[in-house]
Amino acid sequence: MEGRIREFIDYMRVERGASPNTIRAYERDLMAFKGFCEERGGDPFKDPYLVRAFVGGLYRKHKKTTIARKLSSIKSFLRFLHRRGVIDRDIATLLTGPRVPRSLPRSLTVDEVFALLDAPGGKDPLRLRDRAILELLYSSGLRVGELVSLDVEDVDLEGKVVRVFGKGGKERIVPIGDKAVEAIRRYLPSRVLLLKGDERALFLNRYGKRLTARSVERLIKAYSRTSGLFKDVTPHVLRHSFATHLLGGGADLRSIQEMLGHSNLSTTQRYTHVSMERIMEVYDRAHPRSRGEDDV
**Helix intervals (H) in the chain:** 2-10, 20-40, 48-58, 64-83, 110-117, 125-140, 144-148, 178-194, 213-226, 235-248, 253-260, 265-268, 270-286
Which of 143, 191, 240, 245 is the catalytic position? Answer: 143
- In sequence order, what are the beta bridge partners of 240? none
Answer yes or no: 167 catalytic: yes
Answer yes or no: 138 catalytic: no
Which of 209, 236, 270, 278 is the catalytic position? Answer: 236
DSSP 8-state secondary structure symbol assigned to residue 295: G
Answer yes or no: 271 catalytic: yes
Closest CA to 112 of 3, 238, 265: 238
Using alpha carbons, list the distances in angstroms from residue 100 to 34, 66, 72, 93, 269: 25, 10, 13, 18, 18
Which of 70, 239, 240, 245 is the catalytic position? Answer: 239
Answer yes or no: 240 catalytic: no
**CA R_g for the chain:** 23
Answer yes or no: 285 catalytic: no
Answer yes or no: 143 catalytic: yes
Which of 26, 138, 223, 271 is the catalytic position? Answer: 271
Which of 52, 64, 69, 167 is the catalytic position? Answer: 167
Residues with catalytic annotation? 143, 167, 236, 239, 262, 271
